Chains A and B, each alone.
Chain A
Amino acid sequence: MGGPTVATNLLAAQYIQGLADDALVYAQRLGEWVSRAPQIEEDMALANIGLDLLGQARALLTRVGELDGSGRSEDDLAYLRDEREFRNVHLLEQEVAGFGFEMARLLWFASYQWELYAGLRTSVDEVVAGVAAKALKEVTYHRDHATQWVLRLGDGTAESHERMQQALVDVEPYVTELFDDDPASVAAAESGVGVLPSSLEDAVRARVSAVVEEATVALPESARWRSRGGRDGVHSRPMGYLLAEMQHIARSNPGAQW
């Protein structure tokens, strides 16, 4: 028998870090909406969704620090890693680009996270299973929120319809990366820690397609290009600025407690 080997734990840590970084980076982006959303209720909604994601990220990052043997805390991992060490997908690091774009991004990501966490409830890693069972309930609200807005904007005025349609086109190049099977997720699926990203794709696309159709807009046939590399730490231009904003206080005051 024996426990999991060091190599197995490292791969599991990498996989969980991808989940954690997705949540952390999107929490940071959503925070930018506070005071800038179309209405004050929406400021609160997007901040609340970000807060849920931040909570998920904290628990998962703590687990990463335990599994990878480095002994790093959630704060060490959030504030002291450089860009190449972050494993989030490009979708979530993209700059805030209007409310329609945000709702398109949230619809895709929440639909993805919903299927992901539903599958991770039976993870052999107790922390991952616990986070997933809890987060699934939260993500149900996130997905519903995005759904309500996509319906309202898509099936709204001529102007809102056109802008919602354009937002779906703008988000499309970043969608496929969510379902790429990188080596860490293949290993995690084999060990029972994780689920294979590609196995989620059909359910997520079916869900988003149903909402989009009901909203009288359409998904583009296919994107003209697609993002890749996030799970390997290769990021797009906005990522460095996001990290600078997120990390500068902690890095300017080494060892500070708050």
Chain B
Amino acid sequence: MAEPVTEAGARPGGVLGGCAVARAICDVPDPEVPVVTIEDLGILRHLEVDESSRHVLVTITPTYSGCPAMEAIAQRVVHEAERAGYTCDVQTRLSPAWTTDWISARGRDRLRDFGIAPPPGAASTCSTVALDLHLRQTTCPQCGSTDTEELSRFGSTACKALLRCRSCREPFEMFKAL
């Protein structure tokens, strides 16, 4: 399998054949944030259905190296394939590294509707981190105010930070730019 999807923002590298089983796998929800699918999040990188051998090959990538949801996602993918009458191999690929830029527009909308602020623009790994104590401005997914403050950069899962809105006083989570 040669599959060159590496660009930021790229969709999973093409859904080949087997529409129903492919759809079911694309729609596997993220175990921690079930309003978005693994396709929405860009975790699903490649999906290939071989109708002659009734076999599905799936490639997924973790959001964070230690993301404990990967095993659950792989199990669910295999389950969906088997339910549709296919055998399935799930490969995990680290490179190119996942980025929040791969979250689809639909995924961002669904996160916001669920009360999780979508990630701000692309993460800049290589710029020098400013040394001052800085506040990052994010829009509250509840009331839309930008008068928000960061409570903790590390939230309930590796991929989220914890914030609070100073207008409506509600705490909320934000997908961290990565």
Smallest CB gap from B128: residue in A: A207
Instruction: Point out the residue from B65, B98, B152, B153 that lies within 8 Å of A59, measured CB to CB.
Output: B65
Q: A41-B154, A55-B64, A133-B96 are in contact. Are A211 and B162 (CB under 8 A)?
A: no
Which applies to chain A's interface (DSSP): helix, strand, loop or mixed? helix
B84 interface residue per 8 A CB criterion: no
Q: Is B153's CB under 8 angstroms from A145's CB?
A: yes
Q: Is A214's CB under 8 angstroms from B178's CB?
A: no
Smallest CB gap from B65: residue in A: A55
Q: Is B162's CB under 8 angstroms from A51's CB?
A: no
Chain A residues lying within 8 Å of B151, measured Cβ to Cβ, are 41
Residues of B in contact with A, size category = 20 to 34
Q: A41-B152, A51-B66, A55-B62 are in contact. Are A133 and B95 (CB under 8 A)?
A: yes
Which applies to chain B's interface (DSSP): helix, strand, loop or mixed? loop
Stretch at the interface among A71-79, A82-90, A136-144: A136-144
Q: Is B65's CB under 8 angstroms from A141's CB?
A: no
B107 to chain A, nearest CB (A): 19
B133 interface residue per 8 A CB criterion: yes
Chain B residues lying within 8 Å of A166, measured Cβ to Cβ, are none
Complex CA distance for A247 and B133, rounded to whole angstroms: 39
Chain B residues lying within 8 Å of A45, measured Cβ to Cβ, are 152-154
Q: Is B133's CB under 8 angstroms from A151's CB?
A: yes
A26 to chain B, nearest CB (A): 12
Q: A52-B66, A55-B64, A59-B65 are in contact. Are A137 and B96 (CB under 8 A)?
A: no
B155 interface residue per 8 A CB criterion: yes
Chain B residues lying within 8 Å of A16, measured Cβ to Cβ, are none
Chain B residues lying within 8 Å of A55, measured Cβ to Cβ, are 62, 64-67
Complex CA distance for A130 and B6, rounded to whole angstroms: 13
A226 interface residue per 8 A CB criterion: no
Q: Is B154's CB under 8 angstroms from A48's CB?
A: yes
Smallest CB gap from A48: residue in B: B154
Q: Is A135's CB under 8 angstroms from B65's CB?
A: yes
Q: Is B65's CB under 8 angstroms from A131's CB?
A: yes
Chain A residues lying within 8 Å of B144, measured Cβ to Cβ, are none
Chain A residues lying within 8 Å of B154, measured Cβ to Cβ, are 41, 44-45, 47-49, 141, 145
Q: Is A44's CB under 8 angstroms from B131's CB?
A: no
B52 interface residue per 8 A CB criterion: no
A96 interface residue per 8 A CB criterion: no
Q: Is A51's CB under 8 angstroms from B131's CB?
A: no
The digit string for B140-178, where 1 denotes a CB below 8 A from any CB of A, is 000000000001111110100010000000000000101
Chain B residues lying within 8 Å of A136, measured Cβ to Cβ, are 125
Q: Is B152's CB under 8 angstroms from A147's CB?
A: no
Q: Is A130's CB under 8 angstroms from B95's CB?
A: yes
Smallest CB gap from B177: residue in A: A137
Q: Is B95's CB under 8 angstroms from A141's CB?
A: no
Complex CA distance for A135 and B158, rounded to whole angstroms: 13
B123 interface residue per 8 A CB criterion: yes
B19 interface residue per 8 A CB criterion: no
Q: Is A134's CB under 8 angstroms from B94's CB?
A: yes
Q: List 29 A-B contacts (CB under 8 A).
A: A41-B152, A41-B154, A41-B162, A44-B162, A45-B153, A47-B154, A48-B154, A51-B68, A52-B66, A52-B158, A55-B66, A56-B65, A59-B65, A118-B126, A130-B93, A130-B97, A131-B94, A133-B94, A133-B97, A134-B62, A134-B97, A137-B99, A137-B123, A140-B123, A140-B129, A151-B131, A151-B133, A210-B131, A211-B131
Give the A-binding residues of B (Cβ under 8 A).
62, 64-68, 93-99, 123, 125-126, 129, 131-133, 151-156, 158, 162, 176, 178
Give the B-binding residues of A (Cβ under 8 A).
41-42, 44-45, 47-49, 51-56, 58-59, 118, 126-127, 129-131, 133-138, 140-141, 143-145, 147-148, 151-152, 210-211, 214
Q: Which 5 A-B pairs have the closest CB atoms?
A: A55-B66, A55-B65, A130-B95, A41-B152, A45-B154
Known interface pairs A48-B154, A54-B66; 5 further A-B residue pairs with C-beta atoms within 8 A, sorted by A's residue number: A41-B154, A118-B126, A141-B153, A144-B129, A148-B133
